């Protein structure tokens, strides 16, 4: 370690007092002359002032000012627990913190508290480290199954949404939070929603935390079928009326612009299309939703128009529109000598054998 990196050792020690080292949500910074009784005895930590000031601009302001904090070298924090502050101080000196104190979902709360404390003082590097450990741990855990683990996960989400700024991109509409950890937790909860709906604590969280409820709605997928499809009614004679039959197909619409015959596997139907710009494959366009054999709608019909050999397609991801022309009605894979990779303007993908084919038919000259 270079001499300049340990200059902070020459500075005085700065005292951080945990006035109420409990596990309840972090309160705003307290720095008053009168102590407020807490549920636990205050705990003091000592950090070199120069080191603490170097961690972030926010901490520099706390350690170097004309108020009591700066003059006396004392900062009081309410309701930050001892384990969290130990991890913070350990990271401040060694750029790492102990991770083997707890296992499973309970450990997520430990890392989340560190993330929240880092966010509070805008210590970006520590915040990033805690985030990486939280996401890696959740990826390893997968879906929480045991009731105790579900309750622990609800506590983690509750703590995060209760102590981090939601700050949506547009507060007037339902949207995703800008804070990365809140966004990640909302996505995870939506993904594992089936297990959370069995938890009373989760139901309480939905009522008590509108920000979380909003983020969850944003991450939830719409119903795949309209309600009348599954509705069961009774006829005038009291007999149960069978709900309408629903079918989803891409094989019957021979008039669709992307309907082709695949020379590789023999499939006849609507092909998927690869965008010429972003190379993502749209395998939903042209799918027919039918109720009692009547077409209700065709997916993506507003994104493609024209003729089979000369049409425009707008990508659902990058929103780029392109004219695709010269498309053969018979579908051939790219190893056919009549097609050239270099002349590719986007490709069709067979939905059965997934072989790609190309629009622009070229003539080779010797």
pLDDT along the chain (366 residues), means of 10: 62 85 44 46 89 91 82 85 93 89 81 95 95 92 87 94 78 69 92 89 93 86 65 62 69 80 81 82 82 78 85 85 65 42 57 70 33
pLDDT value for 219: 79
**Secondary element (H or E) of residue 32:** none
**Secondary element (H or E) of residue 207:** helix 200-208
- Which residues, 6 or more positions from 315, have their beta carbon under 8 angstroms from its beta carbon? 275, 277, 278, 280, 282, 303, 321
Structure-token pair, residue 255 = 């008039």
Half-sphere exposure of 134 (CA within 13 A, CB side): 26
pLDDT value for 171: 55
Phi, psi (degrees; rounded to nearest 5) at 328: -75, 145
pLDDT value for 344: 40
Mean pLDDT of the chain: 78
- What is the C-alpha to C-alpha distance for residues 186 and 210, in angstroms, rounded to an integer? 12
Whole-model pTM: value is 0.59
């Amino acid at each position: 370690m270079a001499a300049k990196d340990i200059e902070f050792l020459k500075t005085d020690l700065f005292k951080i007092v945990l006035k109420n080292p409990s596990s309840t949500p972090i309160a705003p910074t307290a720095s008053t002359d009168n102590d407020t009784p807490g549920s636990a005895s205050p705990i003091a930590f000592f950090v070199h002032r120069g080191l603490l000031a170097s961690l972030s601009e926010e901490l520099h302001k706390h350690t170097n000012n004309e108020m009591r904090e700066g003059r006396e070298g004392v900062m009081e924090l309410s309701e930050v627990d001892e384990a969290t502050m130990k991890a913070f101080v350990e990271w401040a000196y060694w750029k790492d913190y102990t991770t083997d104190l707890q296992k499973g979902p309970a450990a997520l709360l430990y890392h989340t508290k560190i993330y929240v404390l880092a966010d509070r003082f805008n210590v970006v590097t520590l915040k990033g480290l805690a985030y990486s450990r939280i996401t890696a741990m959740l990826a390893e855990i997968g879906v929480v199954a045991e009731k105790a683990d579900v309750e622990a996960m609800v506590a983690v989400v509750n703590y995060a949404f209760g102590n981090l700024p939601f700050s949506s991109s547009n507060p007037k509409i339902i949207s995703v939070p800008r804070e990365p950890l809140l966004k990640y937790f909302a996505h995870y909860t939506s993904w594992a929603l089936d297990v959370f709906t069995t938890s009373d604590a989760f139901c309480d969280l939905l009522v008590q935390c509108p920000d979380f409820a909003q983020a969850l709605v944003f991450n939830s997928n719409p119903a795949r079928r309209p309600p009348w499809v599954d509705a069961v009614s009774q006829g005038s004679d009291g007999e149960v009326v069978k709900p309408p039959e629903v079918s989803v197909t891409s094989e019957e619409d021979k008039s669709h612009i992307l309907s082709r015959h695949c020379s590789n596997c023999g499939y006849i139907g609507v092909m998927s299309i690869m965008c010429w710009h972003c190379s993502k494959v749209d395998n939903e366009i042209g799918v027919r939703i039918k109720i009692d054999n009547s077409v209700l709608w065709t997916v993506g019909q507003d994104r493609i128009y024209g003729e089979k050999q000369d049409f425009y397609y707008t990508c659902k991801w990058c929103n780029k529109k392109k004219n695709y022309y010269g498309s053969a009605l018979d579908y051939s894979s790219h190893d056919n000598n009549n097609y050239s990779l270099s002349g590719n303007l986007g490709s069709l993908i067979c939905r059965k054998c997934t072989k790609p084919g190309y629009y622009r038919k070229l003539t080779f000259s010797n």
